[in-house]
Chain A
């Protein structure tokens, strides 16, 4: 024994008293902060990084602000990466209070997918967050000092948390405390889903004659589908003998790619024409490919649907709806017309004539199927997970505006394809059960105040000549 046995170096009761005094003082002079532990979603080995994290718990605790006269650090500075707020904060927590009321609930916490052992759950951990309510800021614990003050009466009573403002990426912050969670509502990479509150069925009319009542194309046969196309070729059809522009048949080509070869898949009639007495000549030009050839057959007696006129494109279509044309009066030549719809941005843009039919004496009725959902329902919750009914793409809600139908989302998973959300599919909230059809998905963050990606693209389009394509991708 080298120490004087007649003097105590701190008894348990003295240590107890000091701890109580510290606890009491912290409750007098401290600030109630929220301690938010980090959960590992994915810890990468080799380069040793936690790639994805979630903060979905919260613990209130009193803390003394050591830097009582202001934040430490470099303050607000302009860097080459934009504005950066370099505020730092040192907080003192009661060791006993932390170990009694927070540490037991932190043990073994992960989000269920990452089985990496979490380090030392009995103390505050570096990487965890502290919400500082006075400044409404999220601080990340950089370092935990446990020996300052240094062994008073033979024991340490406090933790000093050296914190710096959080660098946010795509971490999930879902503590269930709105004041905290909404701090990053406008931060991070936010994309936009344009949803449709109320869908509308498209309508169209059929036209059965031009300047004369017959002489229309009944079918276009592709004799050779060609190869090497880089864009849709122009389909030319020789003029009608009537000489009228409206009587001239028109059609569009549709390409397909199989085995790396792009060729003509089909030719859809947009106007079957009128007044033809012999089958017109079909010419296929442009598009960068060669070899495609087609011929047409005509009907010279009886009337068919020569074209469709879309009177209302409707709203909320995800896939091209079925078009039904009423049958002509029954006769030996009668044949029902068939139309096929093509889509643009959730609406019916055109109806092409797949088969004009024959034997009509008056314009038939055209019926277009309803959109998948005519009325969206519910209210998406902030921070809930939504998913696409067909793409299975998931995302987390940042903001929902029912009036405009704009759903801001973050943490978008890729889903079943590389394309993100599909137009027309239902966007379903996992918690709220809200469902609205998707009109379109904008995978660009238009709300980021730093990003100029879009501006560069718009300006570059005016001056750059990417004759083939931009290998880095375009918007």
Chain B
């Protein structure tokens, strides 16, 4: 049943979007007179890495004169959980166009919460506080990111990044044999959506939109007042007969240049439109 290959890289994109929020945080140090004597951008990386790659890249020479450079930030994905509160209809679909203007039929995405943990390792409490104060005010408690989750259909979604908790570890007590470790941990939830396979739409161009309007919300008793109809009209000579006329309209495909023919009809009757019989009854 399963097995249609597709890979929208949505989780990867969510990781990138989350990471880019924190890739331009700076800290400064001053001398005793208050003059800035150092300004540095806090390095950020995604925590989980291949071990051999980390060793080769970060310690190419076997001898390393120092333990580590600080401060540093890292983050990692900690959970992926279905979010039933954002559930939408299983069979609900929507239409979208791909890059070539071809209509696509897309099932509603599945809401998933992705948990992230951002860790800040610093040598000084003051460094951590500088970093924290540049992050926390933006989350009340969420910050919206607009991410192009499925680039083939240009599906941009607002993904709230919610700051769930802030905690910190400051091991300043105890034996002098152990060094003080200052780690601030921020837990976030990204409310993203996972899309299934995207199929070519068999429906193609919408040929007609018809709306009946009533003067009352109770459509059983109220009379229909007006009918609004919109149909596409060709603006190109699709059948190559030298003229642009009604014969070209049925040949329109998504991506063609076309206009719209709007029609208002006053009804004032007690009938209603049957989609199955495609007539008023």
Contacting residues, chain A, for B43 (C-beta < 8 A): 189, 445, 448, 450-453
Contact A135 B63 (CB under 8 A): yes
In the complex, chain A residues 77-131 whose Cβ is within 8 Å of any chain B Cβ: 78, 80-87, 113-115, 126
Q: Are A41 and B32 in contact (CB under 8 A)?
A: yes
Decide: A463 and B72 in contact? CB cutoff 8 A: no
> Across the interface, do A465 and B148 meet the contact criterion of CB distance under 8 Å?
yes
Would A184 and B66 be within 8 Å (CB), given that A42-B32, A81-B121 are in contact? yes
Per-residue contact bits, chain B 20-38, to A (CB 8 Å; 1 contact, 0 not): 1111110011111101111
Inter-chain contact A472/B66, CB cutoff 8 Å = no
CA distance A467 to B145 in the complex (A): 10
Q: At the interface, yes or no: A137 with Cβ under 8 Å from chain B?
A: yes
Q: How far is the CA of A459 from the CA of B14 in the complex (A)?
A: 11
Interface residues of A in 242-288 (CB under 8 A from B): none
Asked if A453 and B119 sit within 8 Å, CB to CB, the answer is no
With A49-B124, A113-B33: A463-B41 Cβ-Cβ less than 8 Å: no
Does B271 make an interface contact (CB < 8 A)? no
Judge if A412 is at the interface, Cβ distance under 8 Å: yes
Tell me whether A165 and B66 are in contact (CB under 8 A). Answer: yes
Contact A80 B76 (CB under 8 A): yes
Give me the 6 closest cross-chain CB pairs, A-B, nearest first: A451-B43, A460-B20, A143-B176, A189-B40, A183-B65, A165-B67
Residue A164 lies at the interface, judged by CB distance under 8 Å to chain B: yes
Q: Indicate if the CB atoms of A167 and B19 lie closer than 8 Å.
A: no
CA distance A87 to B66 in the complex (A): 9
Per the bound structure, the CA–CA distance linking A183 and B21 in Å amounts to 33
Q: Which B residues contact A (CB, under 8 angstroms)?
A: 13, 16-17, 19-25, 28-33, 35-41, 43-49, 51, 54-55, 57-60, 63-72, 74, 76, 119, 121, 123-127, 134, 138, 145-149, 151, 156, 176-177, 179
Q: Is the CB of A83 within 8 A of B176?
A: no
**Min CB–CB distance A474 → chain B (angstroms):** 6
Q: Is the CB of A51 within 8 A of B70?
A: no
CB distance from B62 to the nearest CB of A (A): 9
15 more contacts with CB within 8 A, not counting A78-B51, A165-B65, are A41-B31, A43-B32, A80-B74, A85-B66, A165-B64, A170-B40, A183-B65, A188-B40, A189-B69, A394-B37, A413-B38, A452-B46, A462-B151, A464-B147, A465-B147
**Residue contacts A-B, CB under 8 angstroms, 21 given:** A41-B32, A51-B30, A52-B37, A78-B55, A82-B45, A82-B74, A84-B68, A85-B68, A135-B63, A136-B65, A138-B66, A165-B67, A166-B65, A167-B123, A187-B65, A443-B41, A445-B43, A452-B23, A456-B44, A462-B148, A466-B146
Cα separation A52 to B29 with both chains bound (whole Å): 7
Decide: A81 near B145, CB < 8 A? Known: A166-B67, A472-B24, A472-B138.
Answer: no
CB distance from A244 to the nearest CB of B (A): 30
B residues less than 8 Å from A113 (CB atoms): 31-33
Instruction: Collect the chain B residues with CB atoms within 8 Å of residue A183's CB.
Output: 65-66
- Which residues of A line the B interface, CB within 8 A? 41-44, 47, 49, 51-52, 76, 78, 80-87, 113-115, 126, 135-138, 142-143, 162, 164-170, 183-184, 187-189, 394, 410-414, 420, 443-445, 448-454, 456-457, 459-460, 462-467, 470-475
Q: Is the CB of A52 within 8 A of B54?
A: no
Report Cα–Cα, A473/B28, bound state, in Å. Answer: 16
By CB atoms of chain B within 10 A, which of A41, A42, A445, A453 has the most? A453
- Please judge, given known A-B contacts A78-B51, A453-B24, A463-B16, whether A167 and B66 are in contact too, CB under 8 Å: yes
The reply to whether A445 and B41 contact each other, CB–CB distance below 8 Å, is yes
In the complex, the answer to whether B59 meets A83 with C-beta atoms within 8 Å is yes
Contact of A450 among B72, B123, B176, B179 (CB under 8 A): B72
Q: Which residue of B lies closest to A188 (CB)?
A: B69
Report A52 CB to chain B, min CB distance, Å: 5
Give every chain A residue within 8 A of B37 (Cβ-Cβ): 41, 52, 394, 411, 413
Bound complex: CA A85 to CA B68 (Å):
7
A412 touching B38 in the complex, CB below 8 Å, given contacts A83-B54, A474-B24, A475-B24: yes
Q: Nearest-CB distance from A159 to chain B (Å)?
A: 14
**Which of A76, A449, A464 is close to B57, meaning CB atoms less than 8 Å apart?**
A449
Asked if residues A52 and B70 are in contact (CB atoms below 8 Å), the reply is: no
Let me know if B177 and A52 touch, CB within 8 A.
no
Q: What residue in chain A is nearest B75 (Cβ atoms)?
A: A80
**A86–B64 alpha-carbon span in the complex (Å):** 11
Establish whether residues B47 and A44, one from each chain, have CB atoms under 8 Å apart when the complex forms: no
Q: Are A138 and B65 in contact (CB under 8 A)?
A: yes
Please indicate which of the listed interface residues B69, B146, B148 has the most CB atoms of chain A within 10 Å of its own CB.
B69
Could you say which residues of chain B place their CB within 8 Å of the CB of A454?
23
> Whole-angstrom distance between the alpha carbons of A453 and B179 in the complex?
28
A459 to B16, CA, bound (A): 7
Are B31 and A463 closer than 8 Å at their CB atoms? no
Pairwise interchain contact A413-B32, C-beta atoms closer than 8 A = no
CB pair B148–A450 under 8 Å, yes or no, is no
Instruction: Evaluate contact between B24 and A473: CB separation under 8 angstroms.
Output: yes
Question: Given known contacts A52-B29, A82-B45, A82-B68, is B38 in contact with A47 (CB within 8 Å)?
Answer: no
Contact across chains for A162 and B32 when beta carbons are under 8 A apart: no
